[in-house]
Structures are given as C-alpha cells and as structure tokens.
Amino acid sequence: MTPTISPFSPAVRRAPVPSRVHAPSQPRAQASVRPQHGARTRAGSATPTRRASVDARSTIDPLGCYTDAGGRMREVIAGHGFGGSVLIVDRDALTLGDRRLVAHLGADEPATNATLVCARYLEDTRRGRCRRVTSHDLTHDPYASHDEAEPLPAGGSRSTDLPDRRGRDVYRLELVPAGSIRELRWHRRPWRRGGRVPRPVSLREVIGAVEGYEPACELTLGALARHHGDAEVSVAVLRAELRRLRVSPIVLNRKLRETVLAAIEVHELSMSEIALRCGRVKRDSKGNTSGETSWLARRLGLVPESGADRPTPWVHSDVLALIARSGLGISPREVELG
C-alpha cells in the first residue's frame, strides 16, 4: 500500500497559531496562517471540529493558505511522518495533489515549530523550490542515527557512481585527504580508465551533468548523515553546496525542454510562436516580425550560449515560469523537476 500523509499529530494540534500573516497585495499572491480546528481556547475548552465530510479536507485542516501566481488556492498542512516526525507540506487546496515538502520536523522538536515554519514560508513570496513529497518521506526518519553506517573508504565509493547523460564521465562521492583530516566531496572521473585525472566538482555540476536532482541529492544527504559529528571527516563544503542549491533560483531546464518539444510535435506549435508569446520579437529588414527562436533554444538547452561549447542544463526560474505560462499556457510546476 502506498503511504499517505495522515492527519495532524496531537503535538501539532496543540501548537499555538500566530496571528494572520498576509503577503503584499497585487501582483503578489495573498497568504494567511489560520488556526486549526480542534485547538484549545484560552478558557480551556475545545472549539468545535468540522463535521466529517466527503473528502480528505475533513481530516486535515491547513496551517495556512495562499493563492499562487496562477490564481490557484494552495494550503500548507502538517501530517504524520515516520517515527513521530512531522511533515509540513504545500499542496493544491482543490485537488489535494502536487504535494511539496516544505519541512520535515523531528519528533523531538517543539510543537510550535510547525506554525513558525508555516508563517516563515508564507512570508517568503518566492517560497524557494520545494521538491515533491515521496513515499520515502513517509517511511523513513531523516534524523535517525546512522552510527552503524559504513563510511566511504578514502578514494573509493559505496554505490555512488552516477554517469552523466553523455556517457563520458562518472561522478562519485569520495573521501580525500585535506590536511590532518579527510574531506567528503563529489569527484568527476572518466568513464574509461586512463585519460583525465579525477578532480573535485560541486554538487551543482553533478546535477547539471546528470540533468536530475535525484539521486545526487539523496546520496549527498545520506553521506552528510553518516558523517554527522565525525571529527575526522569534513563535510562543510558539501553541506554548503546543498544549502545553496536549495535556495538558488537557477533550476534544471530538462523537463521544460521536453514539454516544449512535445508541444511542438503534438500541438503543431512552432518555436517562433512560443517565443512571440513570451515577448521575444525580432524584425527583418522589411519590418516583418517573428519570434526570437535563438533565445528560446538557448533557454531550453538546445544550443550553446554565446561563447560556450555546449548547451546549458540550467535556466532561471523566472524565465522557466515565463515560458510555461505565456509560451505554453501551463503552470510552471508542470515543467519543474521534483
């Protein structure tokens, strides 16, 4: 059976709720933090709970809600995680789908943290890049002890080889000497022995090479957990790379590229028409207008940027949203990689 997010834990129900929080008005989306049904009043009596109804909203009341840039109502909920942990999830309020993980709180964290996380999340109008909730989130405790896990051997790997999409290189987490201790970093090695010498690379470079956030992020998180508190291994650089990746507005363009190419084939759109819808116009010597297809091709990673030798796998999230909404008429979430 596929795990599902269950109703609020008792700890979250007892959490005090901050006053109503609003994001700036138009054109920003509005957001609010709402009290939960069943919370205790100051007099100590319980407020009436909503009567059970026909859908899942009868069992999970939102911590807060907002309207996204596409005019859709979304809500932030808290539900049971593994081992008493709490999942803070952003989901579509109408369909209850498109679930995004805002935070995963440990079982020992104060109950107030759920509402504090929600308030901070709604105050941030950009709201970062929350990945999709997976079944792994519901069946594993990210804060469990990993003391028994076998550390990576120096210069070696433990099932962490990731080939790039071109089939030329492989990426691997390795422990390498760094003064009196060892440092955990991603390294790039040639697919075949010989040739280039292995060199350290950033987590972003690994993700760009394989054009996918997983499993590089999962492997990184697992390695950080294994070496948490290990005085003989430095993970400072790797942890900083993961932190920067999570807040960066620069995202992978692979799914956007695949969606655009599919729209061209199925719906008989043209690159020029999509670029025109995005406001990218060029005129020939006779004054005729057409879409700037070279701009679109560069953003999609079909052709290299000026001065580059190969296409980029990255695009700014604002540009991704522009192409999705204006060029294709769909939600940006539909072309984001989870």
pLDDT band at 160 (very low <50, low <70, confident <90, very high): low
Is residue 146 a part of any domain in this protein?
no
Is residue 84 a part of any domain in this protein?
yes
Burial per residue of 29-50, b for 16 or more beta-carbon CB atoms within 10 angstroms, e otherwise: bebbbbbbebbeeeeeeeeeee
| Alpha carbons 238 and 98: distance in angstroms, whole number | 29
289 pLDDT higher than 90: yes
State whether 178 and 271 are in the same domain.
no
| Alpha carbons 86 and 101: distance in angstroms, whole number | 11
State whether 269 and 234 are in the same domain.
no
Choice between 220 and 30, residue whose per-residue pLDDT is larger: 220
Bridge-based pairing of strands 169-178 and 100-105 is: unpaired
Where a domain ends, among 214, 231, 248?
Answer: 248
**pTM (2 d.p.):** 0.57
pLDDT band at 124 (very low <50, low <70, confident <90, very high): confident
State whether 213 and 316 are in the same domain.
no
pLDDT of residue 80: 83
Please count the structural domains in the chain: 3
150 pLDDT higher than 60: no
State whether 27 and 120 are in the same domain.
yes
Is residue 19 a part of any domain in this protein?
yes
pLDDT band at 174 (very low <50, low <70, confident <90, very high): very high
| Domain extent at residue 239 | 162-248
274 pLDDT higher than 70: yes
56 pLDDT higher than 60: no
Where a domain ends, among 248, 281, 301?
Answer: 248
